[in-house]
Chain A
Amino acid sequence: MPVAMPLPDDAVLKRRAEIVAALRSIVPGEGVIASDEAMRPYESDGLTAYRQLPMVVVLPETTAQVAGVLFYCHREGIKVVPRGAGTSLSGGALPLGDGVLLGVAKFNRIREIDFDNGVAVVEPGVTNLAVSQAVEHAGFYYAPDPSSQIACTIGGNVAENSGGVHCLKYGMTTNNVLGCELVLMTGEVLRLGGKHFDAAGYDLLGIVTGSEGLLGVVTEVTVRILKKPQTARAALIGFPSSEDAGDCVARIIGAGIIPGGMEMMDGPAIKATEDFVHAGYPLDVEALLIVELDGPGAEVDYLLERVQEIARSCRAVTCRVSNSEAERLLFWAGRKAAFPAVGRISPDYYCMDGTIPRAKLPLVLKRMRELSRHYGLRCVNVFHAGDGNLHPLILYDANKPGELERTEEFGADILRLCVEVGGVLTGEHGVGVEKRDLMPAMFTQTDLDQQQRLKCAFDDKGLLNPGKVFPTLHRCAELGRMHVHAGKVAFPDLPRF
């Protein structure tokens, strides 16, 4: 494993039997899993290159049990790794050999649907899609729709601040969550927000969302549910170059149109998906855009006309507009099957997730082609074009010696490139263990220290999901020190600027 994790604590490992017994007294019955065989499904998340059996798995069912487990682990100095459905692509739920893996799978009830206030109150183990399904009979849905929505949980979505193809218009998880119940590592239970808007004091819900399980364990979430758009239609537009496609995206937004979804695929991605799902994608183009408009019929028809005009002015060579729901879904079928389609043309692939200012797309694609040649590895691109979120897929064969390592180096170069052009390391997959050691490419030590001080405010002993997000671990006491010496600062007297 190329990423170093915190060293296991022998003193904790020696007490394993006692710890398992103590956890069984808090979570009775089948809620504590201690055999290697039964813990095997928990050894990795969606980033399967990293594997580690936890010391023990706990699946509590009540907030009191979560609080009990965390209180005990805090008192005894035992590390805890929270886990939703384990679909993370960044290793956020990678277990620790001397840690308790705390799964929220049994928190799987929808507690309340409140159409009057436009919210649903759900437990963290409820899947993303289940929320939409529970409200669709009344024409509502939950907007964030990560690709893994059939499996991923709301708890995991809050931890990762998950996005999806519609977040340019409808926002990410953080824009669609109003409240939560949070258990701190000490076992204290807090309520943040509720069915009303905005926090009373500091926006702690905003900081917990996207904190990758390092600040607390969420045991209940209040999400906004929205009226489903009345209609949705998509345009499938082919271009001779990615520059032209990028230009088209910029002009659509420049014209004041925010599509519900706007996805781009490059030549290799178009070919791989068309061979797989036969969606009717043109094969003689270098870039393909799916532009989806949603809303009232009159609006969608009107804007679709404008999008087609813009596409023509951007040298589009093909343009098809969906005239039925079946056709719209067919347009999407290829894009949604992009990952498995790539899986058919390569033994393994590695999915990256950087975000760039959109105008830099041609430059970034060119540099990625150079990197591809340099590393001798193929690369296929799918791209949330509206918000600049790239998903390059690097194709490799794990059975060829050295190829995984080369792939990881290639991936790291891509992410450094994203930062270099003004973008960021991760748009929606999270830092986890995967991008942890790249954090200094984007942040100074001062930036990281400030983030870690905030972590200390929630978790003074650093027991919750250590080894994730931050490249180096610090003790909270050490981070709290301040070096100020009277008379030695720049302006010993009252400064006048």
Chain B
Amino acid sequence: MSDPLKPRDGADVEAAIQWALAGGKTLEVAGRGTKRAIGRAAQWDATLDLSALSGVTLYEPEELVLSAKAGTPLAEIEALVAASKQQLAFEPMDYGPLLGAAPGGGTIGGAIAANLSGPRRIKAGAARDHFLGVSAVSGRGETFKSGGRVVKNVTGYDLCKLLAGSWGTLAAMTDVTVKTLPRAETEATMLVVKLDDAAARKAMAAAMGSYGDVSAAAHLPAAVAARIAATANAGAAVTALRLEGVAPSVAQRKTVLEAVLAPFGTLGALDEAASRTFWRAVKNVMPFAADGPSGTRDLWRISTVPAHGPDVGRRLAEQADAEILYDWAGGLIWVALPPSADANAALVRAAVAETGGHATLIRAPAAVRAAVAVFTPEPPPLAALTQRVRDSFDPNGLLNPGRMWAGV
């Protein structure tokens, strides 16, 4: 591995990729490298370090739009928009604590390349839903753009969607434009305690189907709830539902939720400050942080049909010593399993296959990530299309080869 290539601008990125093309080299595309440990463990000839492409180039709060160079720290952007009482509504999680890196280290380009989201995914979407425009350099060494700086745009294919969640395997993004949205004036969280996973799912579904306009719904079994300060003293499983908005609205919806949730069990509540802290911990999956009691466990992230979340959880708990955190009203399951040579991949994939969805191995030693599929394997016709899509951007396969799937 040689020294990283550190482009200063888009032209440098083009030159770097053309250099790799000419020399038959492969490149690791990285922002600040905070998510480097996610994906298949693979080898590259050089790192294309985009962290010097940094800085917000446009922010117009009243137009709900922000443009930045792809290597701009996410924390810088979040602080900037917060000063105008706005936010990135997709609530991007920070993988740092899970992977043993310092918190707040990622870039906006990385957030998009990993299609990050958070507890608000169920209401506001993921990075893909807020990604308006891009300039990027393909694996052909050509700069192309897609989208724009307006929220409503159907001009040409929506390449932004494809780049979001492509983990740097299609192009190196140089400039991105995202939608910003007003931050809720206040928030509160309703709690139901002592529910088992199945009852918790029913409570969350009832809340989601009510006029409560819930912006986050998570269930923490007792052992997991004990690891978050705001819920530790419950001494039991906690099911949490977040309400955000202007104060009169939050107050009215609290009454709505109380009526919906009362039949399920004992209710509690978190005030604004406790609610913010609690959801930050859920967003970043702090109960399974690298420096915590489950830090050496393998960690899977499963997206499934929300109603089947508890079924997946039950199967995994029956067959392994699984620690589980449910978000997205049961649709997102974080599963921490005791370390093993194959990260229990067969077990996890079988549980998900039964209910629909996908599983990604987020944390495991490099040897394990080299041995088992990290991303969900695709059936043959879909895998072939994936390969053709990849080839259409990067025919020589020089950008992050093998990071998502072996050979792709």
Contacts and interface: CB of A to CB of B under 8 A. Distances in A.
User: Are both chains from one complex?
Assistant: yes
Interface of A: 114-118, 138, 160-161, 163, 167-168, 171-172, 174-175, 184, 188-192, 194-207, 209-211, 227, 230, 250-251, 253-254, 256-258, 295-299, 301-303, 355-359, 384, 387-389, 422-431, 435, 439, 442-444, 446-451, 453-458, 469, 480, 482, 484-492, 494-497
B150 A427 contact: yes
Interface in B130-162: 138, 140-146, 148-159, 161-162
A447 to B, nearest CB: 5
Contact of B6 (A196, A448, A497): A497
A457 to B, nearest CB: 4
Contact of A384 (B115, B152, B210, B386): B152
B159 A491 contact: no
A202 B404 CA distance: 10
B300 interface: no
A443 B15 CA distance: 22
Interface in B357-406: 357-358, 375-376, 378, 381-382, 385-386, 388-393, 395-396, 404-405
Contacts of A453: 392-393
Contact of A299 (B153, B246, B376, B405): B246
A484 B21 contact: yes
Interface residues of B, number: 104
B378 A200 contact: yes
Interface of B: 2-3, 5-8, 12, 15-16, 18-19, 21-23, 46, 52, 60-65, 85-86, 115, 117, 121-122, 125-126, 128-129, 138, 140-146, 148-159, 161-162, 164-166, 170, 181-183, 185, 205, 208-211, 213, 245-246, 248-249, 251-253, 256, 303-307, 328, 331-332, 356-358, 375-376, 378, 381-382, 385-386, 388-393, 395-396, 404-405
Contacts of A190: 381-382, 385
4 nearest interchain CB pairs?
A206-B161, A299-B249, A200-B358, A256-B182
B385 A184 contact: yes
B154 A427 contact: yes
A196 B357 contact: yes
A296 B150 contact: no
Contact of A486 (B22, B64, B122): B22
A230 to B, nearest CB: 5
A254 B154 contact: no
B153 A426 contact: yes
Residue of B6, B129, B376 with most partner-chain A CB within 10 A: B129
A456 B392 contact: yes
A402 B65 CA distance: 41
A74 to B, nearest CB: 14
B157 A388 contact: no
Contacts of B64: 253
6 contacts: A200-B375, A206-B158, A227-B211, A439-B156, A442-B148, A447-B146
Contact of B356 (A196, A211, A250, A439): A196
The CB with the most chain A CB atoms within 10 A, among B63, B141, B156, is that of B156
A257 B388 CA distance: 43
B152 A202 contact: no
B331 A494 contact: no
A325 B18 CA distance: 62
A174 B161 contact: yes
Contacts of B256: 296
Given A174-B161, A480-B395, A495 B16 contact: yes
Given A116-B205, A118-B208, A203 B165 contact: yes
B16 A454 contact: no
Contacts of B140: 482
A206 B125 contact: no
A495 B158 contact: no
Contacts of A118: 208-209, 306
A388 B253 contact: no
A427 B152 contact: yes
Contact of B165 (A198, A428, A495): A198
The SS class assigned to the A binding surface is: loop
Contact of A203 (B85, B162, B209): B162
Contact of B328 (A163, A189, A197, A448): A197
Contacts of A230: 211
B19 A494 contact: yes
Contacts of A210: 154, 157-158
B159 A207 contact: yes
Given A210-B157, A388-B151, A302 B303 contact: no
A196 B304 contact: yes
Contacts of A257: 182
B161 A298 contact: no
A298 B248 contact: yes
Q: Which of A194, A388, A489: most chain B Cβ within 10 A?
A: A489
A119 to B, nearest CB: 9
A489 B21 contact: yes
Contacts of A443: 145, 156
Contact of A298 (B249, B356, B396): B249
Contacts of A425: 155
B211 A117 contact: no
Contact of B23 (A194, A297, A359, A486): A486
Contact of B115 (A203, A301, A442, A449): A203
B249 A197 contact: no
Nearest to B358: A200
Nearest to B45: A494
A163 B155 CA distance: 13
Given A210-B158, A489-B19, A254 B144 contact: no
A188 B154 contact: no
Given A204-B162, A454-B159, A489-B141, 6 more contacts: A196-B303, A197-B126, A253-B182, A446-B144, A457-B389, A494-B19
A117 B162 contact: no
Contacts of A138: 209
A495 B15 contact: yes
A427 B125 contact: no
Contact of A197 (B7, B86, B121, B156): B121
A118 B331 CA distance: 12
A484 B61 CA distance: 43
Nearest to B247: A302
Given A295-B213, A424-B148, A424-B153, A196 B331 contact: yes
B142 A446 contact: yes
A209 B158 contact: yes
A289 to B, nearest CB: 15
A428 B152 contact: yes
Given A295-B249, A447-B146, A175 B393 contact: no
A253 B183 CA distance: 11
B150 A388 contact: yes
Contacts of A195: 305-306, 356
A221 to B, nearest CB: 16
